[in-house]
C-alpha cells in the first residue's frame, strides 16, 4: 500500500477532546484491516489551537513534530514540542498538545492497538 499526503484531503474539527480552536487531520490510514495499526495521519494545529487531555486504553499513540512549536503534555508533564521531538503515550497514559507558536504546528500521529500486539 502506498499513500501520498497530497492525495488526502484534510478533515477539520473544532475543540478536539476538549481542546480549543481548529485541528486539521490528513488521515493517511484509518483502521487498516488485520493490522495493529489503527490510524496514521498528519495533523495541523492552527496557532493557539490544542487537543485536550485524553487517555489511551487498549492502544498506544505517538506524535512526531514535523514543523512549528508547541507544548506536548505527557502524563501531566509539559514538554517543548519542536521539530524532531517524539512523544509516545503508552496504554493507560494521557496526552495533550497545544500550539504555542505563530505558525501551524504540524505533526505525524499514529495509533496502535495494543490488543493486537499480544
Q: Check pLDDT > 60 for residue 13.
A: yes
pLDDT bracket for residue 22 (50, 70, 90): very high
Cell digits for 11?
A: 478533515
pLDDT of residue 14: 94
Q: For residue 2, is pLDDT > 90?
A: no
Residue 31 confidence class, pLDDT cut points 50, 70, 90:
low
Query: Residues of the chain with pLDDT > 90: what percent?
Result: 79
Residue 102 has pLDDT above 90, yes or no: yes
Burial bucket for residue 66 (CB in 10 Å: 0-12, 13-18, 19+): middle
Q: Is the pTM of this model over 0.85?
A: yes
The gap from C-alpha 102 to its chain's centroid, in whole angstroms, comes to 19
Do residues 82 and 60 touch, judged by C-beta distance below 8 A?
Answer: no
Q: Is the pLDDT of residue 115 over 90?
A: no
The mean pLDDT value for 44-72 works out to 96
Domains belonging to the chain, first-starting first, are 11-109 (2.60.120.10)
pLDDT (0 to 100) of residue 52? 95
Amino acid at each position: 500500500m502506498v499513500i501520498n499526503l497530497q492525495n488526502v484531503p484534510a478533515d477539520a474539527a473544532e475543540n478536539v477532546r476538549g481542546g480549543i480552536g481548529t485541528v486539521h487531520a490528513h488521515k493517511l490510514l484509518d483502521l487498516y484491516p488485520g493490522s495493529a495499526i489503527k490510524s496514521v495521519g498528519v495533523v495541523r494545529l492552527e496557532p493557539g489551537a490544542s487537543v485536550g487531555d485524553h487517555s489511551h486504553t487498549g492502544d498506544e499513540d505517538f506524535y512526531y513534530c514535523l514543523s512549528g512549536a508547541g507544548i506536548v503534555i505527557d502524563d501531566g508533564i509539559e514538554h517543548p514540542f519542536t521539530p524532531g521531538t517524539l512523544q509516545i503515550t503508552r496504554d493507560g497514559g494521557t496526552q495533550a498538545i497545544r500550539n504555542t507558536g505563530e505558525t501551524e504546528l504540524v505533526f505525524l500521529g499514529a495509533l496502535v492497538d495494543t490488543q493486537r500486539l499480544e
